[in-house]
Amino acid sequence: MPLEQKVKYEGDCDPEFAKWVVGEIGGENLRHCIQCGICSAACPLSLYMDYTPRRIINLAREGFRKEVLSSFTIWLCSSCYACRVECPKEIHITDIMYLLKRRAIEEGVYPRSFPIPVLAREFGRMIFMFGRVNETLLVTDLFLRTNWFKFLGMIGLGLNLMRTGRMSFLPDTIKRRGELRKVLEALDAEEKKEKKEALS
Ligand code: SF4
Ligand code: SF4
């Protein structure tokens, strides 16, 4: 692990970030963590994470915003809830991972060229636009944004799938998309209002 990931300074903390996590649904018990490490032991993916779940919880509650939001950990979390089930302090670790992912997308600070956050963002955008996800467009967009070379290598396979009718570039849409957008925008506005009221 690089030295800059090991050494943390108080001056790098953002107390407002820690307050934000605690104020969100799922983040309420964050400060109850006793750093027992059971979540990390239960997590089937902690081996591949740059920060284990225990460390993410610790960094988040201390306000290390940059480290947490730019970590690979939050994107590697598969939402299996094993950590949540085992945590003796009933901390909603999986929900906290979701909070952090959402914030990372909002701030655009996720690891560059890492496919999962790009996939999550484009998935949401496509639902907003069409009401459905077109896998061909989603995968093409993902490769173009993250790995051009891989995209070039898969053109042949894509063309074959299109020729046999297994893939299509035509967007799959729902009727009355405008109404869905209004619902999503209203939910977004409601959430922002609730947050504002919670902070005031
Ligand atoms: S299991 Fe719960 S209390 Fe223990 S380190 Fe993880 S989050 Fe903290
Ligand atoms: S929910 Fe995420 S962090 Fe928790 S055990 Fe599963 S993969 Fe690990």
54 with 40: CB under 8 angstroms? yes
CB 56 near ligand 2, within 6 Å: no
Half-sphere exposure of 165 (CA within 13 A, CB side): 0
Do 152 and 130 lie in one domain? The reply is yes
Q: Whose CA is nearest to atom 4 of ligand 2?
A: 83
Of the candidates 107, 129, 158, which is a domain's last residue? Answer: 107
Provide the residue type at 70 as one letter. S
Neighbours of 71 (CB within 10 A): 23
Find the domain containing 88 and state its range.
Answer: 11-107
95/122 same-domain check: no
Please indicate whether residue 45, judged by its CB atom, sits closer than 6 Å to ligand 2: yes
The average confidence (pLDDT) of the chain is: 88
- Do the beta carbons of residue 171 and residue 137 sit within 8 Å? yes
Ligand closest to Cα of 90 equals: 1
Query: Higher-confidence residue: 88 or 114?
Result: 88
Instruction: Identify whether the C-beta of residue 67 lies closer than 8 Å to the C-beta of residue 5.
Output: yes
Q: What percent of the chain has pLDDT over 70?
A: 94
Is the residue at 2 inside a domain? no
Taking CA atoms only, the protein residue closest to ligand 1 atom 5 is: 35
Of the ranges 55-59, 169-173, 176-180, the best mean pLDDT one: 55-59
Residue 100 sits in the same domain as residue 122? no
Determine the pLDDT at residue 3: 47
What CA–CA distance (Å, rounded) separates 104 from 41?
A: 25
Q: Give the count of domains, the chain.
A: 2
Pocket test for ligand 2, best of 94, 96, 98 (most atoms within 8 A of CB): 94
